[in-house]
Structure 1
Amino acid sequence: MTPERNTTMTDRPDTPRLTDRAEAARLARLEREAEALRANLRRRKQQSRARTTPPEAAPQDTSGNEA
């Protein structure tokens, strides 16, 4: 009598694997997404800074000389 083994889906030797080309495409997509997220974060930070910074007033002359 042979002992029964409880198999799961991860035990299957024929699980699908990405080809080298598909893996390269996946990695390229991840890099593009990461760069897009970084660009989006930079843009949002810039917009946030623009909202919190008061508009610049004309520079004041502190030399004491009147024109």
Structure 2
Amino acid sequence: MERKTGSQKPKPQDRDTRLKAALKANLARRKQQAKARGAAKPASEQSSEKDP
């Protein structure tokens, strides 16, 4: 059995690009979820949360 000695490790730049894309997708998903939660609450409930 032969081992491959020329295994390619991912370049740091590729990793940074991949992480940047994942972070952007995660932020967009969280923003969409927060927007959906805000739209689900009636306006009267939102104002009452501010007043203790």
What is the TM-score normalised by the length of structure 1? 0.49
Higher gyration radius (CA): 1
Q: List per-residue Cα deviations over 1:4-62 (Å, max 9, x = no partner).
A: xxxxxxxxxxxxx87x7x71111000111111111111100011011111112565xxx
Which stretches in structure 1 are left out of the alignment for 5+ residues? 1-16, 60-67
Which stretches in structure 2 are left out of the alignment for 5+ residues? 1-6
- Distance in 1, matches of 2:30 and 2:13, equals 26
- Distance in 1, matches of 2:44 and 2:24, equals 31
Number of equivalenced pairs: 41
What is the TM-score normalised by the length of structure 2? 0.61
Please name the residue that 2:4 is paired with: none
Q: Give the % identical residues.
A: 10
RMSD, aligned CA = 2.5
Aligned structure 1 segments of 4 or more residues deviating by more than 2 angstroms: 56-59
Please name the residue that 2:41 is paired with: 53
